Amino acid sequence: MRETSWGRVKYRTTNWKAYNAALKARGELTIWLDRDMQWLAQPTGKRGRCQKFSDAAIQFCLTIKCLFGQPLRQTLGLVESLLGMAGLDWPVPDYSTVCRRQKSLDVQVRYRASDKGLHMLADSTGIKFLGEGEWKTKKHGAQRRRQWRKVHLGIDAQTLQIRAIAVTTNEVGDSPMAADLVTIPRQSRGHSGCEPLKAAVRGR
């Protein structure tokens, strides 16, 4: 490490073997498929046609879609390949079924329960949902008002997993949302392994 003429600190890599191994590890991909997973939907006993695929199957397809950033058709082709490599002869839903089911999907989020109670860390971040691009605003100025929403996160201090989410307007601080973030995990107490994603929305 040395100081350059511009005053910036320049780092020199000396552990090239570990550095190369770390770069290679970034590209590793491992996907586990549980053979006991309920891929096909169970009969509901209600009148009318039952759903063919379970919520878990639809969520798996949408997870692969978000992970690789592909359109639905390419995603389902990838899912078919993954099932084939895993030796599973499960049918793959078509893109229209996945597109329709994602609107009312009850998302299940797995988490590891803490060993000694829940010690929660609270933080928040802003999300811009209406406005102009950063480059255009910097070059030509903003022509309309940008609108933001604040996302408050409750994170398990031991497992570093998100346990609670609350969405508010931009003027709401972290302190007023502390009670809501603590209440959300309490609503799911007694469950472990998998639960619906808990969230709260405040404001317009």
Per-residue pLDDT tens digits of the chain, which is 204 residues long: 454 555 566 677 788 888 898 888 888 878 888 888 889 988 878 887 788 899 999 999 999 998 888 999 999 999 999 999 889 999 999 989 999 998 888 777 676 666 777 788 888 888 877 666 667 767 777 666 667 788 888 888 887 888 888 888 888 888 888 888 877 655 454 444 544 444 454 554
Instruction: Report how far residue 155's alpha carbon sits from residue 34's, in angstroms, rounded to the nearest whole number.
Output: 27
Q: At what angle do helices 55-68 and 72-85 cross, to 10 degrees?
A: 110
**Rounded to an integer, what distance in angstroms lies between the CA atom of residue 193 and that of residue 95?**
29
The residue to which tokens 């397809």 are assigned = 61
User: Under the phi-then-psi rule, with left for phi > 0, alpha for psi from -120 to 50, and beta for the rest, what region is 7?
Assistant: left
Per-residue CA distances from 200 to 149, 154, 170 (Å) = 13, 12, 15
Residues forming beta bridges with residue 123, ordered by sequence position: 153
- What are the structure tokens assigned to 109, written together? 């989020």
Cβ(108)–Cβ(195) below 8 Å:
yes
